[in-house]
Chain A
Amino acid sequence: MGAIITLSILALLVLYLGLFKANKALLPVSIVGLLVVVGLLVRDWTVEANPLYNGMILFDHYAIAFSVLCTVVTILVLVLSKGYFTSSSDHVAEYYTLLLFSLLGAVLVNSYHNLALLFLGIEIMSVALYILVGIRKKDLASNEAALKYFIMGAFSTGFLLFGITLLYGASGSFDLEEIKHYVVDHPDQVSPLFYGGVLLMMIGLIFKVGAAPFHFWTADVYDGAPILITSFMSTVVKIASFAGLLRLFTFSLLPLQDFWTPIFLGVVVLTLFIGNLSALMQSSFKRMLVYSSISHAGYLLFAVVAAGPDSANAVFVYGAAYSLATLTAFAGLILVKRTIGSDHFESFNGLAKKNPYLAAVMTIAMLSLAGIPLTAGFIGKFMMFSAVMEQYHIVLLLIAVLNAAIAVYYYLKVVVAMYFRTGEDKPVAINGNYVFLFVVTTVLTILIGVYPNCLMQLI
């Protein structure tokens, strides 16, 4: 609980620092504050988890693990922000504050125990992002992205809210525990209202995780947003949304599995194909990552389709692996774009000759995203695949295999550009923060890939 309070105070503090023009202090204060948050979260690990504040919030292992993951990824995003924000705006404090508030929303989504708080969390998370996406006031793409995101986001929230209302109407409570009781106690006579509510909530949440068929906003929004914001959205926000979705469906709505599993199965298949085939067509590295993030949402949904005791761990490991690799990829993109001025695959041409270490790091990230053994991505995929196998969705697994083979093609495009093509002879400058990030993400990617034991039975 201390984590949420600290996070709120931290966000306000950073805003005030900005007010007093203490721009140099913003980054250190934010990072120290977030480290404190991590500490507070970890401290709660051994404490017996009980719903707090009239059952609003629950800091169990599930919530803590996902919140720590989100916070750590945010720290890594902030590490990259040095010099990034100042180049596009004078009001740097806004960035930090909004990112911190968005993280606060993510933590709430990870730990909600009451649908009202789920709604609140999602709104806090999203509203901050609406602004961040459009924060480059003079950039048309950024403006368009923000508007699109805002309108679509508002719609999806509407669905979500309506769904929550219907669930309340049927079960008489917002509390996850109560809703679960309602479903268990009325196995044969669950009100039609309730089913309607589940459907609407599904729509809202599928929207938030960016899965098909409600993925249309992702490409333009992720593409239009500043790269750093995109990397935050496609990691922290995605993981938190999944954590929220997973908790609702695998905890409260599990008895209705027969009802929602087929729908999610359809969503998964659509998402995988749409994500991968679209990613295949892209000539821009950034858009490729965006579409591939849609396809990763498909893989993450495996855990929901095969809901079971290991689902949370699978999502956690997959989310961690995916975030590490995605951060590396986006960081590499920022550096390359700064030098070459374009985010197309061609701008990576010949990178291996100029910056062999950067190329190696990017290659490891791509291999991890593609799911090659001895990287974290493989362990994540392996857990997802084995979860699906346990439920004998073999056809789904074969579809996933086909998609993984498609994915390897477009991930290797970057590798091909970096190693096998020749490009402009401008070396890419890398500063200390980026080196730090690359070292952390790459070492963790390989460490989790080689010895994932520590993460796999966490929750």
Chain B
Amino acid sequence: MDNLFLLILTPIIGALFLLFVCQHAIAKKAALILSLITLGLTVPFICQFDASGDFNYEQSYPWIAALGVNFHIGIDGISLPLLVLTNVLVPLIVLTTFRKPFKGNFYALMFFMQSGLMLVFSALDAFTFYVGWEVALIPIYFICALWGDGDRIRVNLKFFIYTFLGSLLMLVAILYLHQQVATNDFEWHSFVSLDLDAVTQRWIFWAFFIAFAIKIPIFPFHTWQPNTYTHAPAAGTMLLAGIMLKMGVYGLMRWLLPVVPEAAASYGQLVMILCVFAVVYASIIAIQQQDTKRVIAYSSIAHVGLISAGVFAWNITGLSGAMMQMVNHGISVVGLFFVLDIIQDRTGSRDLRNLGGIAKKAPRLALVFLIIIMGAIGLPLTNGFIGEFLLLKGIYEYGVWYAVFGGLTLILAAVYMLRLYQKTMLGTTSERTENFSDIAGVELYTLVIISALIIYLGIFPNSLLHISSASVSILATFLGR
């Protein structure tokens, strides 16, 4: 069973099932089973994957003949890790919601989003890509605005309009490229083989870049992010930070670099400066936050800043590092937000000043939290180490000073992460943490799985790197064109 289209369709069927058939009482279990089915269906794709750099499992159907749109999908070494990441994280996120009173509609929205994400990661037709891009956006808007807290309505509207505006700019670029293609289609292959002049490349670059930069978010397009992350429900934040921002980085790698290589090379320096600046800037802000979620929100800006810098360094090392780190960041961030959510549920607070001493009351939680934090900091033998090492090496190859400032991320991350750990887990217990009960059952299993993934990828990074290496090398060759 290796029909990619059916794989993308599976969550939609699951979503419809949850919406119309499944009763609320068993919605959670049904959602878990459905997400595991999707994960199970992903396994053949991994096992039979041919990592030679070509697109595997390609499928193309005529879709809108009048416009030259084909439903063309396929995956290569850049798509597959993200596709798998999506399908691994969704069941994990479902598990993290087991303590919450969510009903079928919540999971249905999640599954709709999952399909959209898979479509984004596998589309080889720009129209299809755009559809997936938007289809992923609508459910997350509803998830965040329906189940969020605080000023969620205004915050999410800002998020939606920001990303929608970005998408529309991308649409303009896609339409323009479509006009240039002699075969009158939206195929990725046609787009990358276009020979555009420098001026055209420049504005296409900006149209694409702004769309992706908003999603990632790259400084200074990040202003929607901290508030949206803070006010979204935990699962929504996990979806946003764990998977959705990878759409943006993936977009850079799939649609920006190969299509407008010259402009990307000439603006590369500017983007690098933005990214590296964001690393330092966001880290410093993260150090000063009292709200646990905001710490991670800003740390996320710093991390993706480094990832984007690795992409724009545009050498094999940097790109491999970006691939690796995208997966790592997805796993770590889900773990982090889950732990913080557990703390918030039990203490009713996200404020670091109210917390402390949890390790005494909940040693198991403290241990897994430590593992996840180590992964996020990039300690050797955790997944983060390999990713950051490759990223920094790639950035170093691009320019020493970028690497020097980018490298600050290691130190600053250690500062804010350890501060987070210290203020929550260590020290004396406070009023709110006095009766903290340790994790057990579903919570424990979920966090153990996440920790295991972190350590596994730390020890065997090659299991991921060998999948992406050929495709990444091909991507790197676009620079020399």
A408 and B164 in contact (CB under 8 A), knowing A373-B131, A382-B67?
A: yes
- Are B66 and A394 in touch, CB under 8 angstroms? no
Most buried by A among B65, B66, B153, B172: B66
Give CA–CA (A429, B146) in the complex, Å.
24
- Are A456 and B175 in touch, CB under 8 angstroms? no
A453 and B64 in contact (CB under 8 A), knowing A408-B161, A420-B152?
A: yes
Chain B, range 264-291, C-beta contacts under 8 Å to A: none
Give CA–CA (A409, B162) in the complex, Å.
11
- Are B160 and A412 in touch, CB under 8 angstroms? yes
Give CA–CA (A383, B179) in the complex, Å.
13
A420 and B172 in contact (CB under 8 A), knowing A373-B135, A453-B64, A453-B66?
A: no
Give CA–CA (A401, B210) in the complex, Å.
14
- Minimum CB–CB distance for A362 against chain B, Å: 14
List the A residue with the shortest CB-CB distance to B105: A356
- Minimum CB–CB distance for A256 against chain B, Å: 25
- Minimum CB–CB distance for B21 against chain A, Å: 15
**Which chain B residues lie closer than 8 Å to A412 at the CB level?**
157, 160
Number of A residues with CB within 8 Å of any CB on chain B: 32
Give CA–CA (A244, B74) in the complex, Å.
45
Cβ of B130 within 8 Å of any chain A Cβ, yes or no, is yes
Cβ of A386 within 8 Å of any chain B Cβ, yes or no, is yes
A386 and B168 in contact (CB under 8 A), knowing A373-B135, A408-B161, A409-B161?
A: no
A373 and B168 in contact (CB under 8 A), knowing A420-B152, A420-B153?
A: no
Cβ of A404 within 8 Å of any chain B Cβ, yes or no, is yes
Of A389, A397, A405, A451, the residue contacting B164 (CB under 8 A) is: A405
A401 and B142 in contact (CB under 8 A), knowing A373-B130, A373-B134, A386-B67?
A: no
A420 and B175 in contact (CB under 8 A), knowing A408-B164, A409-B157, A453-B66?
A: no
- Minimum CB–CB distance for B436 against chain A, Å: 32
- Minimum CB–CB distance for B71 against chain A, Å: 10
Cβ of B371 within 8 Å of any chain A Cβ, yes or no, is no
- Are A389 and B176 in touch, CB under 8 angstroms? yes
Give CA–CA (A416, B131) in the complex, Å.
23
A419 and B66 in contact (CB under 8 A), knowing A394-B172, A405-B164, A408-B164?
A: no
Cβ of B198 within 8 Å of any chain A Cβ, yes or no, is no
- Are A419 and B145 in touch, CB under 8 angstroms? yes
- Are B145 and A385 in touch, CB under 8 angstroms? no
- Minimum CB–CB distance for A357 against chain B, Å: 11
Most buried by B among A401, A456, A457: A401
Give CA–CA (A456, B160) in the complex, Å.
30
- Minimum CB–CB distance for A308 against chain B, Å: 13
- Are B138 and A452 in touch, CB under 8 angstroms? no
Number of B residues with CB within 8 Å of any CB on chain A: 28
Query: A-facing mask of B143-175, CB < 8 A → 1, else 0?
Result: 001100000110001001100110011011001
Cβ of B293 within 8 Å of any chain A Cβ, yes or no, is no
- Are A420 and B169 in touch, CB under 8 angstroms? no
Cβ of A31 within 8 Å of any chain B Cβ, yes or no, is no
A398 and B172 in contact (CB under 8 A), knowing A373-B130, A374-B131, A412-B157?
A: yes
Of A378, A383, A385, A453, the residue contacting B172 (CB under 8 A) is: A385
**Which chain A residues lie closer than 8 Å to B329 at the CB level?**
none
- Minimum CB–CB distance for B177 against chain A, Å: 10
Cβ of A313 within 8 Å of any chain B Cβ, yes or no, is yes
Give CA–CA (A412, B172) in the complex, Å.
23
**Which chain A residues lie closer than 8 Å to B67 at the CB level?**
382-383, 386, 456
Give CA–CA (A420, B66) in the complex, Å.
39
- Minimum CB–CB distance for B375 against chain A, Å: 35
- Minimum CB–CB distance for B55 against chain A, Å: 23
Give CA–CA (A57, B477) in the complex, Å.
62
Query: A-facing mask of B291-304, CB < 8 A → 1, else 0?
Result: 00000000000000
Query: B-facing mask of A308-344, CB < 8 A → 1, else 0?
Result: 0000010000000000000000000000000000000
A389 and B161 in contact (CB under 8 A), knowing A313-B66, A401-B171, A419-B142?
A: no
A405 and B165 in contact (CB under 8 A), knowing A374-B131, A389-B175, A394-B176?
A: yes
**Which chain A residues lie closer than 8 Å to B172 at the CB level?**
385, 389, 394, 397-398, 401
**Which chain A residues lie closer than 8 Å to B65 at the CB level?**
453, 456-457
List the A residue with the shortest CB-CB distance to B66: A456
Cβ of A72 within 8 Å of any chain B Cβ, yes or no, is no
Of A372, A390, A401, A451, the residue contacting B179 (CB under 8 A) is: A390
Cβ of B178 within 8 Å of any chain A Cβ, yes or no, is yes
A404 and B168 in contact (CB under 8 A), knowing A419-B142, A452-B64?
A: yes
Give CA–CA (A397, B131) in the complex, Å.
19
List the B residue with the shortest CB-CB distance to A397: B172
**Which chain A residues lie closer than 8 Å to B131 at the CB level?**
373-374
**Which chain A residues lie closer than 8 Å to B142 at the CB level?**
419
Give CA–CA (A420, B65) in the complex, Å.
39
**Which chain A residues lie closer than 8 Å to B146 at the CB level?**
419-420
Give CA–CA (A455, B227) in the complex, Å.
43
Give CA–CA (A383, B69) in the complex, Å.
12
Query: B-facing mask of A203-221, CB < 8 A → 1, else 0?
Result: 0000000000000000000
**Which chain A residues lie closer than 8 Å to B138 at the CB level?**
367, 372
Give CA–CA (A409, B164) in the complex, Å.
10
List the B residue with the shortest CB-CB distance to A367: B138
- Minimum CB–CB distance for B411 against chain A, Å: 39
List the B residue with the shortest CB-CB distance to A310: B66
**Which chain B residues lie closer than 8 Å to A390 at the CB level?**
179
- Are B66 and A386 in touch, CB under 8 angstroms? no
Give CA–CA (A456, B134) in the complex, Å.
22
List the A residue with the shortest CB-CB distance to B165: A405
List the B residue with the shortest CB-CB distance to A390: B179
A-side residues, CB < 8 A to B, are: 313, 367, 372-374, 378-379, 382-383, 385-386, 389-390, 394, 397-398, 401-402, 404-405, 408-409, 412, 416, 419-421, 451-453, 456-457
With A389-B179, A416-B153 known, 6 other A-B pairs at CB within 8 A are: A373-B134, A378-B134, A401-B171, A408-B160, A451-B64, A452-B66
10 A-B residue pairs with CB within 8 Å: A373-B134, A385-B172, A389-B172, A394-B172, A401-B168, A402-B165, A405-B164, A409-B161, A456-B67, A457-B65
7 A-B pairs with the lowest CB-CB distances in the bound complex, closest first? A456-B66, A405-B165, A401-B168, A373-B131, A389-B175, A373-B134, A457-B66
